[in-house]
Amino acid sequence: MKRIRIDEKYCMGCRLCEVHCIVQHSKTKNILKTYMGEYPKPAPRILVEEKGYITFALQCRHCEDAPCLDACMTGAMYRDKETGAVLCNEDKCVGCWMCIMVCPFGVISRSSDKKIASKCDLCMGEDIPVCVKNCPNEALKYEDSKD
Amino acid sequence: MNSNILKPQRIDARDLNYRELNRLVKDAANKGVKNIRLTNVNGQRYIGTGVNSSPKININGVPGNDLGAFMDGCSIDVSGNGEDGIGNTMNSERIVINGNAGDILGYSMRGGEIFVRKNVGYRVGIHMKSYKNMYPVIIIGGCARDFLGEYMAGGLLIVLGLNMKNKNSIVGSYCGTGMHGGKIFIRGNVEPWQLGKEVRVYEPNKDDFSLIGKYLRIYCRLFSLDFDSIIKTSFTKLLPGSSRPYGKLYAY
Amino acid sequence: MAKRPTPTEFIVERDKDKCIACQVCVRMCSNDVHIYDADTNTVTSDNSRCVGCHFCETLCPTDAITIKKNESCFKPNANWSASVISDITKQAETGGVILTGMGCDKPYTIYWDHILLNASQVTNPSIDPLREPMELRRYIGRKPDKIELNYNKGKVELKTKLEKQLKLEVPIMFSAMSYGSISLNTCISLAKASHELGIFYNTGEGGLHKSLYKYGKNTIIQIASGRFGVHPEYLKTGAAIEIKIGQGAKPGIGGHLPGEKVSKEVSEARMIPEGTDAISPAPHHDIYSIEDLRQLIYALKEATDYEKPVGVKIAAVHNVVPIASGIARAGADYIAIDGMRGGTGAAPKVIRDNVGIPIEFAIAAVDARLREEGIRTNVSLIAAGGFRSSGDVIKAIALGADAVYIATSALIALGCSQCQKCYTGKCNWGIATQDPYLTKRLNPEIGVQRLKNLIKAWSLEIKDMLGGMGINSIDSLCGNRTHLRGIGLSDRELKILGIKSAGEPQ
Amino acid sequence: MKTLKTEYLIIGNSAAGVACIEGIRKVDKTGSIAVISDENIFNYSRPLISYFLAGKVKKRAMPFRDKKFYSRNNVKLVLGNTAEKLDTKKRIAYLSHGEKVVFNKLLIATGGSPIIPEIKGSRLDGVFAFTKFGDAVAIKDYIKKHYIKHAVVIGGGLIGLKAVEALIELGIKVSIVELADRILSTTFDTKASGIIQDALRKAGCNIFTKNTVAEILSKGEDKKVTSVTLKTRKQVPADLVITAIGVSPNIQLVKNTSISINRGILVDEAMQTNVKDIYAAGDVCEKNIPIWPNAFKQGRIAGENMASGNAEYTGSIAMNSVELCGIPTISIGKTSLEQDKYEILEMRKKEESIYKKIVLENNHIVGCIFVGDIERAGIYTGLIINRVDISNIKDKLLEEDFGVLALPEKYRKHLVGDVGLEV
């Protein structure tokens, strides 16, 4: 099962991952059109935390024992059989924010346009999530996890 | 075997090349001999260099240059005079010279002590530096020549000026040029023209005297000198004017 | 002080149609060139702060930024150029020495570009390196005058006891760069790449960080006048010891790492208190003569039980030939000669640009002289100072070098854009800085790969060129100047280089 | 079907029941499972009924597991049938339609029933409880049939307010009657309640606190509710009344069996009752905090243990997330304590209706409230659940950029340990 590994030592804090995440989850998937023409533009599903020189980008960890799966009352949050990713079915989500309440990483947020939860989907359909692909310092890696 | 290593081992250095002599010293040290006595030493270099264990080496005769260079662990006692480069980049322990010593003594010394009973040559204590608990100390019984403590970055340098002839000056010129750390104490007075422009002159305080005393007591005991009479005279303290003497040299 | 003309060197051109105000440039520029205005949601630039490192340009996700040279400014004047005026103005303001970083950028003749290589045609066949074995391995160290062999039941054994040698899989090493002038991640990249390539890197005079001890077998440790970080463990760890007398970028002067670059970790490696200046005096005060040098060489050999080669690095200066001869006779196992285009973390500009001679002359002249004196095998020669390509490397070897040191090209492989601001400690690429916010920008995993790629690529090219000349071992090329021809050079230059002119047959 | 034999029997098909299936299947891929539900819908999410009422969620979106879930997990689903009697010795459950189910292991997940207040008029038409899908359907029908202008919601707790929100959405003027001095008194403190009360009033609600409904009235012989009289004698118009004053565990089934009960069924850490192989989970349990995640987790743990797994329920804390009048709120743990032993950290931005509060006890977070801004609230939940000492980060807890980076290193490592984060 592939996961995004975050290596804080080499995160420069440039936030290009956020930019590319926004574009990937936009309507057009075109960077200029997303930034110049989409209102509201999608919120990034990756979040760069920063304190002095320590920075790292954090996105859903797709936990093995994911509290958001237990907490989701609509069944919108589900685990993808193939990839093992924890995904949110946007058609089922009603925005009760139970998942936000229980995620110990605080990586689920309210979508900027609809009343649904927004979280990392590992860029389903892409070989490599765009945050990983575009990290200029390989601080993010898409690797097989131990389990 | 054990009783053997406790017995002092004598090595006659007569007619030995320095490499041969040092090989013998290292071999003895490697065997664990605690006390090595070298006799008839006549200008052989690098004695005590690269000796990995911690014997005490007594030297009879005149050891050559770079005595105890990069020295770490062993200690050296020279019954007579030493040459140039004693304690070059020395790391620890002690070198005692019962007579005079030459130039660049204690160059870039990082730890340990060098005690010289009489006079030393030029460029002594250049670029001494201390680091954490490593604190290099040089005490010179007589006087020193020019460039004493040049580029000094740390540690302690004491010149006592004992048995000086009146004409002699206790330090030469350019004392403490480029100094940016450490302390120099000179027993008696130094003329302003003798000092490098990076040093400032101070009156030693109580703490300074206890610092001097800490090492001077050992020195006096080693050379059977009267500590009280030496310490009671006045000392001049030299400190760097700035820890960044060349900080303003450049246009950014 | 009243303002005087100091033209900005660069103009940051921002394509307004493409800038999405993502602020990556704002966050990443250590010189604070880019400014975000939240009210208008736009990013603007302060050109005067730009050093032209191209970091922002590289990261900009929409290619909205282009760094351009400021072409406006002064009336064209071959003598009073913009940089001359700007330097004078700066000095009039500060009264200080103008500092710079990296190697000399003045348009002196680069002799590598005036030397051509030979290739085989008809009378001697070229070798196809894809099919035939090619030997790039070199040994650095004193070679015996003659070799005696033991023949024992059909087995041949070397009877002569060889002096300690450094075994290089490729005749290229990473030249001295101290931890302090460059970041730990840069050191790690160099060390690890050397380990994996079977070559050596050089600590410079910065001591050895604890995390680098494990690469000791691929480390040349340096001893300079400041003796920073020189202690028994350090001497024990390196594969060879190098006494640094001089550096091509600043012959004759010392070094000076300002206190602000002496971080906790740097202070540990150098063994000086944190935040203090690290001053390397111009000379070693125990070396005022060749005899003194010999004394230090043997002190180091004695300290390490004659188990490691001891080399001496000097800058290429006018008298390099007799000096090198002296060093060879002083017992050095190798001499590294650094030409005037060699890099530096910080040097007075006037010295970098005006002192020394090019490595091409130095290596040719020294090799010739050592041969004349019959002591060439006593010592290995390493050429350094601005090697840009495998072509430069192979020419240096044909001129007489046993191997070359590269540093600037290694840094360029890691991202360096030659902005020459290493001395400010604000290197955006995380190379010449100790600022933890910046050093993390060089991920050693990437660094190692890039360095390995570079050396691998050069090796392939060298093999190709060797094959073309009909040579299957780099050893056979060393000092083999018959394979070189000069072009556009005067007779005198050709004579010093010891090569014929293009068009002259064998 | 007269007699059904099954390895596992699950009575109840809501959060705990469904989670139990998942728990069993985690360990035992084949053992037969039967689920009995007294409702006729194959499963649905109870908390969604307010969304259904408001018309935001269609009937087909009510299930939280799809229809194939049961066949995929090889589960026999019995709908519209109630387990009426239980023989714990013979391990037989008797159903209302006359069948019996012989089981090896049993989970009782019968949930809770709304408490209907003993008020005169509480049987009138137009008076509803609000816990089941059936309730929502009935209310919806009633609203469709009658012209509803005013509604009264008895109880200002979470269920009541969810109903209020749905009714506001439908354009009905709502009055809330709450016994305590403020709405949401069990989960919120005065300030948080105040923000929501202000917002509800702005949306046109009447809120009567420290009050109760004394009588529900109709006009003449008509059985239709028309108004209510409050304890304070005030008459409030009401074409519809929803009672939401709480739920009590459904324990009829286990009364008179050897299973220990109090208010609810007593269970151990494995969710097992005092009778071996009989488990209980969710709202039917004693001392359970009746929220979805708890029921789900308990169900899953019970399931794993029934299938000879080894899971442990380490207790739960009260947690609620509701969005009212467009203001998202989250409350976790102890929130409205005022004693000295608790230290309170607060942040308030009045103009944006943002309020955050953290309750500390001996340098541990024991509760928080987030109103208006709930981003990253789960981090605090984690700190509470894992009992993390926060003395070193106390001053950072309410900072704008509080996040994983600020967490104590040891906890950070524990948190990220096996999920590929090197921080």
- Fold classification of C170-476 (topology level): TIM Barrel (3.20.20)
Out of C24, C435, C443, the one facing A16 most closely (by C-beta) is: C24
Contacts of D423 in chain A (CB under 8 A): 6, 8, 56
Higher confidence at residue A2 or residue B126?
B126
Mean pLDDT of chain C: 94
Give the total residue count for chain D.
Answer: 423
Specify the pLDDT at position C71.
Answer: 78
DSSP structure class, residue C77: -
Q: For residues D135 and D153, state if they share a domain.
A: yes
Nearest CA in chain A to C438: A12
CATH number of this structure's domain C10-96: 3.30.70.20
> Domain holding A13: CATH number?
3.30.70.20
Domain shared by D359 and D251, yes or no: no
Q: Does residue D257 lie in a domain region? A: yes
Tokens found for residue D107: 């989970």
Total CB pairs under 8 A between chain A and D: 141
* Total number of domains in chain A: 1
Q: Omega of the bond prior to A40 within 30 degrees of 0, cis?
A: yes
Q: What is the CATH number of the domain that holds D327?
A: 3.30.390.30
The whole-chain average pLDDT of chain A stands at: 92
Q: Which of B108, B132, B145 to mutate to test the interface with C (most CBs of C within 10 A)?
A: B108
Q: Convert the pLDDT of each residue in B151-194 to its tens digit.
A: 999 999 999 999 887 667 899 999 999 999 999 999 998 999 99
Q: Point out the residue among B22, B107, B249 whose CB comes nearest to the CB of C285.
A: B107
Asked whether D273 and D102 are in contact (CB, 8 A), the reply is: no
Does residue D225 sit in the same domain as residue D140?
Answer: yes
Global confidence as pTM? 0.90
CA dihedral sign, ordered B237, B241, B246, B247: positive
What pLDDT does C258 receive? 80
Q: Say if A38 falls within a structural domain.
A: yes
- Assess if residue A40 is contained within a domain: yes
Q: What is the pLDDT of residue D409?
A: 85
Indicate whether A72 belongs to any domain.
Answer: no
The per-residue pLDDT for range D45-99, each reduced to its tens digit, is 999 999 999 999 999 889 999 889 999 999 999 999 999 999 999 999 999 988 8
- pLDDT at residue C118, rounded to an integer: 95
Query: What is the complex's ipTM, to 2 decimals?
Result: 0.88
C56 CB-near residues (< 8 Å, 6+ apart): C12, C24, C25, C28, C29, C33, C34, C65, C67
Is C437's Cβ below 8 Å from some Cβ in A? yes
Same domain, D145 and D88: no
List the domain range (segments joined by +) for residue A16. Answer: 1-59+120-147
Residue A18 lies in a domain: yes
pLDDT of residue D419: 47
Contact A53 C27 (CB under 8 A): no
How close C65 gets to chain A, by Cα (Å)?
14
Its domain, for residue D218, covers: 127-243
Chain D: give the shortest CA distance to residue A112, in Å.
Answer: 12
Amino acid present at D110: T
What does the pLDDT read at residue D94?
93
Domain annotation for chain B: domains and CATH numbers: 80-247 (2.160.20.60)
For residue D311, being part of any structural domain is answered with: no
- Determine, yes or no, domain membership for D265: yes
Question: Which residues, at least 6 apart from D87, have a Cβ–Cβ distance to it below 8 Å?
Answer: D93, D94, D257
- Same-domain pairing of D7 and D156: no
Q: pLDDT at position B3, please?
A: 61
Q: Which helix (H) or strand (E) covers residue A69, if one does?
A: helix A67-71
Q: Which H or E run includes C502?
A: none
Tell me how far apart the alpha carbons of residues C182 and C441 are, in angstroms, rounded to a whole number.
Answer: 13
Do the domain assignments include residue D420? no
Among D210, D228, D243, where does a domain finish? D243
Output D16 or C145, whichever has higher pLDDT. D16
Total number of domains in chain D = 3
Three-state DSSP class for residue D377: helix
**Does the distance separating the beta carbons of A47 and D378 come in below 8 Å?**
no
Q: Which CATH number characterizes residue D42's domain? A: 3.50.50.60
- Give pLDDT, residue D423: 47
- Residue D289 binned pLDDT confidence (cut-offs 50, 70, 90): confident
Q: Give the type of residue at C111.
A: Y
pLDDT for the residue numbered C404: 98
**What mean pLDDT do residues C451-468 have?**
97
Give the domain ranges of chain C: 10-96, 170-476
Task: Examine residue D422 and state whether it is found in any structural domain, yes or no.
Answer: no
Confidence label for D316 from pLDDT (cuts 50, 70 and 90):
confident
| D366: its two tokens | 């024991």
Q: Is residue D313 part of a domain?
A: no
CA angle C292, C293, C297 (to 5 degrees): 120
Please report, rounded to a whole number, the percentage of residues in chain D having pLDDT higher than 70.
98
How many Å lie between the alpha carbon of C189 and the closest alpha carbon of chain A? 14
C159 vs B191, C78, C149, C193, D226, CA distance in Å? 64, 64, 5, 35, 118
Residues D331, D294 share a domain: no
Please tell me which residue of chain A has the smallest CA distance to C447: A137
Q: Examine the domain organization and report whether D30 and D134 are in the same domain.
A: no
Q: Do the Cβ atoms of D298 and D288 come closer than 8 Å?
A: yes
- 11-40 in chain D: CB under 8 A from chain A: 15, 19
Query: Does C touch B (3+ CB pairs < 8 Å)?
Result: yes
Q: Could you tell me if residue D20 is inside a domain?
A: yes
